[in-house]
C-alpha cells in the first residue's frame, strides 16, 4: 500500500487534572504514537478542570477519553490506554502496520 498523502493523525486526549490515570494515558499514548505514527501525529491534551465547559461541548463523560479527530471518521477510546492493541485497532493503526 502506498501512503503518498501521509495523513497526520490528530488526537485529542481529555483529562481531569494530573491524576494517575491521566498521566498513564498520556504516557501510553505518546509511546504508542512514537512507535507507530512517528512524525505524523499531533496530540492535544485538554484538561477539563481548566475548561469545564468543553465537557458538554465535546460530549465527554468518561475520563480519560481519547478522540481521533483526523483522519475521519471520529473515533473514541476511553481508559488509560494501557491495552495498546485495542487502542491501535480502534484508531485504525493496527491493520495497516500488520499489512506491511
Partner 1 sequence: MTATVRRPTKRGGNGRHPLAKAPTGIPGLDEITNGGLPRGRPTLVCGGAGCGKSLLAMEFLVRGALEYDEPGVFMSFEETTDDLVENARSLGFDLPKLSTRRRLLLDYVHVEPGDLTESGEYDLEGLFIRLGHAIDSIGAKRVVLDTIELLFSALSDEFVLRAELARLFRWLKAKRVTAIVTGERRGDQLTRHGLEEFVSDCVILLDQRVTDQSATRRLRILKYRGSAHGGNEMPFLIDDHGLSVLPITSLGLAHQASTAHVSTGVVGLDGMFGRKGFYRGNSVLVSGTAGTGKSSVAAHFVDAACRRGERALYLAFEESPSQIARNMRSIGIDLEPWMRRDKLRILAQRPTALGLEAHLVAIHRVIADWKPRVVVVDPVTNMIAVGSETEVKAMLARLIDFMKLRQITALFTSLTEGGGAAERTDLGVSSLMDVWMVLGNLEENGERNRTIQIVKARGMAHSNQVREFVITGQGITLVDVSRRADGSVAIGSARGAQQRQQARAGIPEVRRRAK
| Interface with partner 1 (CB under 8 A) | 14, 16, 19, 21, 24-25, 28, 48-49, 52-53, 55-56, 59-65, 75-84, 86-87, 89-90
> Could you tell me which residues come within 8 angstroms of residue 58 by beta carbon, excluding any fewer than 6 positions away?
14, 46, 67
Which residue lies nearer to partner 1 by CB, 5 or 55?
55
Which residue lies nearer to partner 1 by CB, 39 or 73?
73
Which residue lies nearer to partner 1 by CB, 10 or 23?
23
Which is it for the CA torsion 88, 27, 2, 10, positive or negative?
A: positive
The least CB distance from residue 5 to partner 1, in Å, is: 25
CB atoms within 10 A of CB 62: 10
Residue 30 φ then ψ, to 5°: -60, -45
Amino acid at each position: 500500500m502506498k501512503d503518498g498523502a501521509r495523513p497526520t493523525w490528530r488526537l485529542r486526549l481529555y483529562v481531569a487534572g494530573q491524576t494517575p490515570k491521566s498521566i498513564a494515558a498520556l504516557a501510553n499514548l505518546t509511546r504508542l504514537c512514537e512507535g507507530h505514527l512517528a512524525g505524523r501525529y499531533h496530540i492535544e491534551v485538554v484538561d477539563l478542570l481548566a475548561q469545564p465547559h468543553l465537557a458538554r461541548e465535546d460530549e465527554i463523560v468518561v475520563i480519560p477519553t481519547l478522540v481521533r479527530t483526523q483522519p475521519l471518521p471520529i473515533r473514541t477510546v476511553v481508559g488509560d490506554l494501557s491495552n495498546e492493541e485495542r487502542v491501535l485497532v480502534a484508531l485504525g493503526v493496527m491493520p495497516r502496520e500488520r499489512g506491511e
